[in-house]
């Protein structure tokens, strides 16, 4: 029997809390502890159809390590989650040890034709609550499928840049940039990236993640880190 997605996420986050705490405790004197990043999303984050080490959070952590950046990236992706579902699990998905969040939700809202106002309100709630906790945020945008019509697409696609601008969050405009609709980089369902597709996402988003880490370090140096 497969472990339910939400339970797997809880187990993974428990390991993240333990690992991040150990990393801070074992950091050599004079060296900053690793930045703790939570990738909060749906199946695109969880890595549906992929091995755990091929999923976005794992590949991102390796890419950061290759650049000499100390970071722990937790996989808080739950397949099928909408933005509203993300609100309901935000507090346990993002523990107190988190320095930054990569927020990737909304794809399932568009696939289900959820009212864009509902998606906007849910994402806005998450941004506000994370900001109140002084956690740096990288909001990942999504585009509505063209078959939903131009009116829906206009309303949905505008959510991400408008919220990022209003909240002061960093924005990666389209999470699947360079991968969407490419059969070579997607699994047979045409929606979920292969491991190679995830590698493309990581390569393209990496500069934004590095900027996110820089912002998180400023927050930590100010209010979140005790001497």
Question: Any idea which residues carry the catalytic annotation?
Answer: 43, 189, 192
Question: Kind and range of the H or E element at 40?
Answer: strand 35-41
- Report the SS3 class of residue 39: strand
Query: Is there a contact between 168 and 159 (Cβ–Cβ < 8 Å)?
Result: no
Q: What distance in Å separates the CA atoms of residue 106 and residue 10, rounded to the nearest whole number?
A: 21
In what side-by-side order are the strands of the sheet with 35-41? Answer: 71-77, 35-41, 100-104, 136-140, 170-172
Residue 217, CB-side half-sphere exposure with 13 Å CA sphere: 14
- How far from each other are the two terminal CA atoms of the chain, in whole angstroms? 46
In terms of Cα–Cα distance, which of 136, 109, 133, 132 is closest to 120? 109
Contacts for 204 with CB less than 8 Å, ≥ 6 apart: 177, 178
SS3 assignment for 82-133: CHHHHHHCHHHHCCCCCCEEEEECCHHHHHHCCCHHHHHHHHHHHHHHHHHC
């Amino acid at each position: 029997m497969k472990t339910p997605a939400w339970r797997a996420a809880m187990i993974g986050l428990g390991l993240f809390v333990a690992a991040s705490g150990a990393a801070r405790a074992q950091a050599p004197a004079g060296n900053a502890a690793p930045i703790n990043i939570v990738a909060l999303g749906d199946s695109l984050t969880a890595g549906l159809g992929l091995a755990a080490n091929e999923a976005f959070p794992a590949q991102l952590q390796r890419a950061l390590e290759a650049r000499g950046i100390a970071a722990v990236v937790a996989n808080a992706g739950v397949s099928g989650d909408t933005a509203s579902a993300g609100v309901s699990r935000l507090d346990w998905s993002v523990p107190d040890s988190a320095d930054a969040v990569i927020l990737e939700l909304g794809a399932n809202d568009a696939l289900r034709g959820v009212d864009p106002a509902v998606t906007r309100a849910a994402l806005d709630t998450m941004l506000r609550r994370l900001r109140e906790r002084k956690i740096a945020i990288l909001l990942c945008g999504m585009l509505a499928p063209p078959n939903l019509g131009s009116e829906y697409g206009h309303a949905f696609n505008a959510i991400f840049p408008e919220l990022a601008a209003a909240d002061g969050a960093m924005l990666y405009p389209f999470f699947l940039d360079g991968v969407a609709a490419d059969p070579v980089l997607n699994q047979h369902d045409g929606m979920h990236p292969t491991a190679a597709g995830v590698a493309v996402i990581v390569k393209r988003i990496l500069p934004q993640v590095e900027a996110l880490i820089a912002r998180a370090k400023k927050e930590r140096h100010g209010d979140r880190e005790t001497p």
